[in-house]
Structure 1
Amino acid sequence: MTSVTTRTVHYPADGLTMIGHLALPAGTGRRPAVLLGPEGPGLSDVERRRADALAELGYVALAFDIHGGRYLADPQQMLARCMPLLADPDRMRDIGHAALAVLRAEPRTDPGRIAAIGYGTGGAVALELGRDGVDLRAIATVNGLITGRPGEAAAIRCPVWAGVGSEDPIMAVAQRDAFTAEMQAAGVDWRLVVYGGALHAFHHPPTPSGQTVLPGIGHHPEHARRAWRDIVDLLTECAPVPAAR
């Protein structure tokens, strides 16, 4: 196992002080980098571990924050924060650009090889960076199949991968169709993987006992592993880590 270095980073965005998790791979040279956004409740150890796993693979990885250091375990509190955010592309872009600035400022980051991946709200943020014309090597979104303002997807300059559960009532068939129609009309290099039998947030391990979750949410461990492999394959294709010399 390679040596990974991690640290907490504080930065302003959306009128809050965000608290992200930066993971650096072994070595001293520049490496491709990945922004990693969380589901609606916010940044947790799940995303921190994913950033660490990406660093093990040789990427500089920043798991970014969306709620100013808070994890919104209460579904109603989460919805009260996330629904207005998801309806405001400029706010999502502000959150994404602030995290991107932190990632670009890291000396180990190769600024010409950055990808953005995210889950739910974090995936919507990654897509908005693409719609804003940010030079990214790849975008991946799980659950966050949010359509943008008309015509703006034409600014996406990289492949887009999306994953969703077939039984997800939040990202239902109509939403999937709207998203793929937007990508197709914009001429984006896109792909959509539908994981059979999976619900919303199928990638996320079970919440602590007693914590309330929204209907239609459930963990599917096999598909969670498959979605992670699919994302790693996308990164390998579009932002490969250089071979050790």
Structure 2
Amino acid sequence: MTTVTTRTVRYPADGLTMVGHLALPAGAGRRPAVLIGPEGPGISDFQRGLADALAELGYVALLFDINGGRWFTDPQEMLDRALPLLADPERMREIGRAALDVLRAEPRTDPDRIAAIGYGTGGAIALELGRAGVPLRAIGTLNAVTVGRPGEAANIPCPVWAGVGSEDPIMSVARREEFTAELQAAGVDWRLTVYGGARHAFHHPIGDAVVVPGVGHHPRQADRAWRDMLALLAECLPVTESGDSGS
């Protein structure tokens, strides 16, 4: 097993001091990098583990913050923070760009080889970075099939993969169809995977701790979704066996 180095990074965004988690792979050279967005409640130890797992695979990984260091356990507090944010593309982009600046400033990061992945609200932010034309190599989202402002999907420069649970009432069938129609009309290279029997936030082992209707953990589908996310990164942002970031 390779040695992963982690540290907390603090930076300003959205009028808050964000508290992110940076995970660095073994070695000293530049590596491809992944920006990771958390769901509405904020950063958890589970998500820190995802960043660490990506660093084990050779990526520089930054789990960015959306709530100024807070993890919401009260559903209403979480919604009061998340819903206005999701309704404001410019705020989402500001949060995403601030984190991206931190990731790019890391000496181990290959600034030309960055992907953005995210869950729920963090996935919406990843998509907004794409709609803003940020030069990403891939965008992967889980529980986030958001629709942007008219015409802006044409700015997305990379493949998009989205995963959603079949029983997710928040990411409804109608919403999925609107999302895929937007990407198709814009000529984006897109894929949508629907995980049978899974509800919203099905990837998160403690998803039931933040109780809102339609939320629940589905271990089998969570494992599959993680493998699908890794497959996207392997395709679009490969790490060579030598550890070099490639071309």
Alignment partner of 1:172 is 2:172: yes
Compute the displacement of 1:46 (Å): 1.4
Compute the displacement of 1:212 (Å): 4.8
Compute the displacement of 1:243 (Å): 2.0
Whether the 8 Å contact between 2:207 and 2:217 is mirrored in structure 1 is no
Aligned length: 243
Match of 1:130 in 2: 130
Whether the 8 Å contact between 2:117 and 2:140 is mirrored in structure 1 is yes
State the one-letter code of the partner of 2:213: P
Q: Which runs of 5+ in 1 are unaligned?
A: none
Counterparts of residues 154-233 of structure 1 (less than 5 Å): 154-207=154-207, 211-233=209-231
State the one-letter code of the partner of 2:103: L
Match of 1:98 in 2: 98
Q: Distance in 2 between matches of 1:178 and 1:111?
A: 32
**TM-score (normalised: structure 2):** 0.97
Match of 2:39 in 1: 39
Compute the displacement of 1:47 (Å): 1.1
Report the more deviating stretch, 153-162 or 40-49.
Answer: 40-49
Match of 1:107 in 2: 107
Q: Secondary structure at the match of 1:94?
A: helix
Q: Which runs of 5+ in 2 are unaligned?
A: none
Match of 1:121 in 2: 121
Q: Distance in 2 between matches of 1:207 and 1:153?
A: 30
Report the more deviating stretch, 55-64 or 234-243.
Answer: 234-243
Q: Distance in 2 between matches of 1:54 and 1:207?
A: 21
Q: Secondary structure at the match of 1:40?
A: coil
Whether the 8 Å contact between 1:55 and 1:61 is mirrored in structure 2 is yes
Compute the displacement of 1:179 (Å): 0.4
1:33-67 Cα distance to aligned partner (Å, 9 max, x none): 00000011011111100000000000000000000
Alignment partner of 1:244 is 2:230: no
1:82-105 Cα distance to aligned partner (Å, 9 max, x none): 000000000000000000000000
**TM-score (normalised: structure 1):** 0.98
Compute the displacement of 1:221 (Å): 0.3
Superposed structure 1 runs of 4+ greater than 4 Å apart: none
Q: Distance in 1 between matches of 2:49 and 2:241?
A: 23
The Cα RMSD (Å) is 1.0
Change in 2 beyond 3 A, CA 1:212/1:91? closer
State the one-letter code of the partner of 1:184: Q
State the one-letter code of the partner of 1:76: Q
State the one-letter code of the partner of 2:135: D
- Identical positions, percent: 75
State the one-letter code of the partner of 1:177: E
Q: Distance in 1 between matches of 2:6 and 2:146?
A: 31
Q: Distance in 2 between matches of 1:212 and 1:116?
A: 25
Compute the displacement of 1:207 (Å): 4.8
Q: Secondary structure at the match of 1:174?
A: helix
Q: Secondary structure at the match of 1:123?
A: helix
Match of 1:25 in 2: 25
Q: Distance in 2 between matches of 1:242 and 1:29?
A: 13
